[in-house]
């Protein structure tokens, strides 16, 4: 019986973080520049607080200075914008990240518009997304999760050009930019979403699948073309009485089934997840180098 190659995001992410660490240490020695990332957290969502903590830890580990602002849940939009504007003019801050989702009373578009595009390390500013979508234009930053997906394909030597790719999900932060990136890499791209009829017929044509849905084990073995490469972005908790936490995390893709049919699959956890943070660090380093013309 065949078994797909496991795409080891954890070890690739570590390799990337090591590369970033040595580049930052060389920069420090040569020109005394230390990259800086500002993270703005609004409200007290536990998951958001955990993500912010992990990002800060990852910054420390590679030598990026991190700055954190915590605003209460009942802050006004203009208070959030004000703290963004402060970081926009702070020369020791090269990247600014607003942890999403924002509290419901805030307009996400207004807030993200305030981030200077030179410091938009999440790549969510409409100008950066617009450039990503246009031929002949270059975004200053590409969103971290989809960038991590493409980086995994590159580092595993998966050819994208001329291939059929299917992205499942069309969110602003993962699905949509993932589809744009695949298209820029000369794949022929289809997008499957919640209104798509017969999604399995479409995914069966794919040489490459990026799934970002948020439905545990939705993509079955029968949805896959033999030899396809599967990048599973989904992180879904499912009940597991054997785990001390009472749950475990699975992807959108039924991993055991995919392993029998695909050529390569990312595991959950340990696939795309660690790549997202590695790409954030990479974008912050790019921002610092650009700010100092390095
Ligand atoms: P969203 O909920 O914003 O988007 C989900 C997308 O999936 C939507 O476009 C939706 O379609 C589509 N969808 C929902 N149900 C179905 C279905 N039954 N069939 C086909 N399409 C469907 O989620 P995100 O993009 O933010 O995240 C997706 C997953 O990725 C989540 O599990 C999340 O936890 C994970 N994630 C992982 C990250 C990582 O670092 N590894 C980073 C970010 C997210 P429609 O547009 O029609 O509603």
CA of residue 256 to ligand 1 center, whole Å: 21
Interatomic CA distance for residues 128 and 130, integer angstroms: 5
The ipTM estimated for the assembled molecules is 0.99
Phi and psi at residue 14, in whole multiples of 5°?
A: -65, -45
Q: Name which residue sits closest to atom 47 of ligand 1, judged by CA.
A: 194
Pocket of ligand 1 (CB under 6 A): 145, 168-171, 173-175, 192-196, 199, 212-215, 218, 233-236, 272-273, 276
Is 215 annotated as catalytic? no
- The domains found in the chain, sorted by start residue, are 32-117 (3.40.50.10860), 143-273 (3.40.50.720)
Closest CA to 270 of 243, 251, 246, 244: 251
CA of residue 18 to ligand 1 center, whole Å: 30
| pTM of the full structure | 0.97
DSSP letter for each residue of 142-182: --HHHHHHHHHHHHTT---TT-EEEEE---TTTHHHHHHHH
Question: Which among 213, 232, 270, 274 is the best mutation to test ligand 1's pocket, defined by most ligand atoms within 8 Å of the CB?
Answer: 213
For residue range 138-159, list pLDDT tens digits in order. Answer: 999 999 999 999 999 999 999 9
For residue range 34-47, list pLDDT tens digits in order. Answer: 999 999 999 999 99
pLDDT confidence band for 161 (50 / 70 / 90): very high
Question: Which among 167, 169, 191, 234 is the best mutation to test ligand 1's pocket, defined by most ligand atoms within 8 Å of the CB?
Answer: 169
Is 252 annotated as catalytic? no
């Amino acid at each position: 019986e065949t078994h797909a190659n496991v795409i080891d995001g954890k070890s690739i992410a570590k390799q990337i973080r090591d590369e970033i660490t040595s580049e930052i240490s060389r920069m420090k020695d040569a020109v005394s520049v230390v990259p800086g990332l500002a993270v703005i957290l609004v409200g007290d969502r536990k998951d958001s607080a955990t993500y912010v903590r992990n990002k800060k830890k990852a910054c420390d580990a590679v030598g990026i200075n991190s700055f954190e602002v915590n605003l209460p849940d009942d802050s006004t939009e203009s208070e959030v914008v004000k703290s963004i504007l402060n970081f926009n003019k702070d020369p020791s801050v090269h990247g600014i990240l607003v942890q999403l989702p924002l509290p419901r009373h805030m307009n996400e578009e207004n807030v993200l518009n305030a981030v200077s595009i030179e410091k938009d390390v999440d790549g969510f500013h409409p100008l950066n997304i617009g450039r990503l979508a246009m031929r002949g234009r270059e975004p200053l930053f590409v969103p971290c999760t989809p960038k991590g997906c493409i980086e995994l394909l590159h580092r595993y030597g998966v050819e994208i050009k001329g291939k059929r790719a299917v992205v499942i999900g069309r969110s602003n932060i993962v699905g949509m930019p993932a589809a744009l990136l695949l298209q820029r890499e000369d794949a022929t791209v289809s997008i499957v979403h919640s209104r798509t009829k017969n999604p399995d017929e479409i995914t069966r044509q794919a040489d490459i699948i990026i799934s970002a849905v948020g439905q545990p084990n939705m993509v079955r073995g029968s949805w896959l073309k033999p030899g396809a490469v599967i990048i599973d972005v989904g992180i879904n908790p499912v009940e597991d009485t054997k785990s001390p936490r009472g749950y475990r995390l699975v992807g959108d893709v039924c991993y055991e089934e995919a392993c029998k049919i695909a050529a390569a699959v990312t595991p959950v956890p340990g696939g795309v997840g660690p790549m997202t943070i590695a790409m954030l660090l990479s974008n912050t380093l790019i921002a610092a180098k650009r700010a100092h013309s390095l």
